[in-house]
Structure 1
Amino acid sequence: MRKAREVLVIGGNRYFGKRLIARLVAAGDRVTVLNRGSSSPPPGVVHLVADRDDEKALAEAVGTRVFDVVLDQVCYTPRQAAVARRVFSGRTGRYVMTSTVEVYEHEDSEELVPEGAVDPATVAVDLELPWDEPEFLEAHYGEGKRQAEAVFTTDPAFPFVSVRVAHVLGGDDDFTGRLQHYADRIRTGAPVAVPPVTHPATYINVEEIADFLFWAAGEDFTGPVNAASHGLLSLDQLTTAVAAQLSGGAPVFEVTESGEVSPFAFRRRYGMDNSRATRLGFTFGDVRQWLPKAVAETLGKDD
């Protein structure tokens, strides 16, 4: 019989985070959720309230608790990583950080990018950058995640995994509005802004990434690992899937050289190689098979 684990989830009360928590609870794990108190976790879990940026408050909230696994859904900067590293040193047997495809520079190579393209052990960390400024953080999202990975990796306090997540699709609770952006423009005939060349990307389904994080929590490998479904998806394929859920119409593309472009209209490649996770035992789906259902879930029935 599987032994129940003590699991801490930092953040992650919505979208794939809430699905992850549901999987942990269903598996019989004793789950604690820590956030700033802006939203309540589901029944059956312990709720700790603290601002993770406040080291004293975080340490006081954790108290003397010890965890088998910490799943950190909301670590965006090296400062946050440094705080977490100090607070959880000696208090967890495994630390899984949700990272991002944005850590990669994505040069124009046609090859899918493996984890070794960015080794966190070689990434320079600068704690003095203005990480607390929202505009700076948004503009340096990938760099913040890279440096956070580096903090945990270069001076390890516990076995550490960084899950580099592809762009997530699916679910009727997708709060990003990215697919709705296309649905609105197809319905109204408004133009879809795209760069002169739009590159394909790898994606992952919202249920699949919840499965992946649950799986990663129970394994013993360390280091970065890519989480992406099999197959690349072009913008044409994505917008065709959106149009199929509507009563008619098609996207009208408008090319812009330097202006802001629509979601998923990528100026660079975002294709990740998922072979490490596959070798380790995770079975991914194919994006072309789950895409229609994911789009239908997000958009709901056409009115």
Structure 2
Amino acid sequence: MRKILILGGTRFFGKRLVERLLQNSANDVTILTRGETSDSFGDRVHRIHADRFQPNELAQAVGDSLWDVVFDNICYSPDEADQARRIFDGKTKRYILTSSLSVYDFSEEALTEEIFDPETYPIRYGGRNDFSYQEGKRLAEAVFMQQASFPVAAVRFPIVLGIDDYTRRLHFHIEHVRNGQPIGIPNPEAHISFIRSDEAADFLYWLGCCSTVTGPINACSDGTVRVKDVLIMIEKETDKQAIILNQTDDEHMSPFGIEHSWFMDTTKAQSAGYKFLLLNDWLPELVSSLNKTYVE
């Protein structure tokens, strides 16, 4: 049996990762949870009840258990990374950190892993409230890559979309177009990457259980879209015109409202054997599916 621990496995693509792991009877899956979010896994998984953000509580809950793979979907700061690399020292064969496209600055060129090198990035410590989201993720990667005693891979995901996206980022745009509300988009021509939630889960599964890749690795669907292309898809489905402004009140600013292009190169993952979905194969379908949830 392959013993697997997931930190952050009760929502969104973390939940989908658990479902993917359970498809293989060779996986013995444990979820670390505070118990605040219910799940549908029943007795198919083990549960450790602890707050991942309380290091003493986490260490006590993990105890002396040994793992083949630890998936960490909820690490946002260097302090959290440092606590985890100490707690799991000698207790895991492989560690998969969910990182982010956010470690990169905007660029009109496809972003490769080498553009941000966590192995040479100066480490500063602090909690998640001490840094921006970008800096927290950069420093978390740096701590793991420079100081962990076990092999680590850091998955850099873009915005993850899906029917099950509890942050409702694509929903935001559909609702605004349907309701005739303005959407703030600084640069509608900017190109952006996405990945679907089930694809993100499948990639994590592949990386943790089917590959030996370490270090940072980009993961996104194949292809890009301009931000305005997303609105064009929504206009087609709703038969309504999007009202796009450069600037609006904060509540109407687009979650996709980037100032410049922001998309990744996935050559490293593809060279290691992973095949991504085509973005233009699934994004229009997702827009259509979400729009139908508003139609009575």
TM normalised by structure 2 equals 0.92
8 Å Cα contact 1:163-1:225 kept in structure 2: yes
8 Å Cα contact 1:200-1:232 kept in structure 2: yes
8 Å Cα contact 1:195-1:257 kept in structure 2: no
Q: Which of 15, 19, 29 does residue 16 from structure 2 map onto? A: 19
The residue identity in structure 2 corresponding to 1:193 is: G
Shift of 1:36: 1.8
- Alignment CA distance shift 1:74-1:181 (3 Å): same
Flag structure 2 segments of 5+ consecutive residues without an equivalent: none
**Greater shift after overlay, 219-228 or 233-242?**
233-242
**Greater shift after overlay, 216-225 or 41-50?**
41-50
- Alignment CA distance shift 1:67-1:180 (3 Å): same
Q: Which of 2, 11, 14 does residue 5 from structure 1 map onto? A: 2
- Alignment CA distance shift 1:225-1:132 (3 Å): closer
Partner residue, 1:113: 111
**Greater shift after overlay, 94-103 or 267-276?**
267-276
Shift of 1:279: 0.3
Q: Which of 169, 186, 191 does residue 195 from structure 1 map onto? A: 186
8 Å Cα contact 2:101-2:158 kept in structure 1: yes
Shift of 1:156: 2.5
Residues of 1 paired with 2:94 and 2:133: CA distance? 24
8 Å Cα contact 1:195-1:258 kept in structure 2: no
Shift of 1:196: 5.0
- Alignment CA distance shift 1:132-1:233 (3 Å): closer
Q: Does 1:149 align with 2:141?
A: yes
Equivalences for residues 21-40 of structure 1 within 5 A: 21-28=18-25, 29-40=27-38
TM normalised by structure 1 equals 0.90
- Alignment CA distance shift 1:296-1:258 (3 Å): closer
Q: Does 1:210 align with 2:201?
A: yes
Shift of 1:132: 4.8
Partner residue, 1:64: 64
- Alignment CA distance shift 1:196-1:236 (3 Å): closer
Shift of 1:300: 3.5
Equivalences for residues 256-295 of structure 1 within 5 A: 256=247, 261-295=253-287
Partner residue, 2:84: 84
Q: CA RMSD in A?
A: 1.8
The residue identity in structure 2 corresponding to 1:263 is: P
Residues of 2 paired with 1:30 and 1:297: CA distance? 34
Partner residue, 1:239: 231
Shift of 1:79: 0.5
Aligned length: 290
Flag structure 1 segments of 5+ consecutive residues without an equivalent: none
